[in-house]
Chain A
Amino acid sequence: MKNRLRDLRTSRNWSQAELGARVGVSRQAIIAIETGKFDPSLPLAFKLAHVFNLTIEDIFDSSEAR
């Protein structure tokens, strides 16, 4: 699923490892989510939204889900 995770992360000068540590997953998980190869679970999607103070829809492109 397409998402803005990479842009949001780099706008805050966070590394992939840093973002992973903030939401409790590995750097590899962040890489896979950013490239759209892996869709996070609902709890992880909420954690990502919370860490950026956004909604899930602000981060992930919901048009692919329809």
Chain B
Amino acid sequence: MEPNTQLRTAVRAFYAFVASMALLAVGPIVGQNLIDDGTRAERIAGVVVALVTWVPWIIVVIRMIRAGDEFALRVHLVGLAIAFFGLMTVLAALDWLARAEFIAPPPLAFVWPVGLVLWFAGIMTANHYYQRSA
């Protein structure tokens, strides 16, 4: 790919990512407003809005991952593995702590931000491992 084409592609991908992140930030706010004291139809609309605004972000992230070279794919694979098993461990720990009545059961709204943080931490960990000198 020519450098100018590469730059244009990268800029378009960046704007798409920013736009999808903006939708992801606005979606839950709009959804929660519809759900709060809403009629049944408004609450359904709130759930749909909150979920649908995830879709552009998911599409953009998948495209960004697929556009990477084989090394980038390896880093994403390791990062996702760390995030998945990390999230399972956190959820299992919270579940057992709640069963033993040491804590109150945490709200589900806790789960997906923790998943995102673990995913980001997984990617950073994988990148650091592969980039440090032997």
Contacts and interface: CB of A to CB of B under 8 A. Distances in A.
B129 interface: yes
A35 B130 CA distance: 8
A25 interface: yes
Nearest to B3: A21
Contacts of B127: 28
Nearest to A33: B71
A41 B70 CA distance: 8
Nearest to B71: A29
A25 B69 contact: yes
Interface in A10-39: 24-26, 28-29, 31-33, 35-38
A44 B134 contact: no
A26 B70 CA distance: 9
Interface of A: 24-26, 28-29, 31-33, 35-38, 40-41, 44
Interface of B: 68-72, 74, 127, 129-134
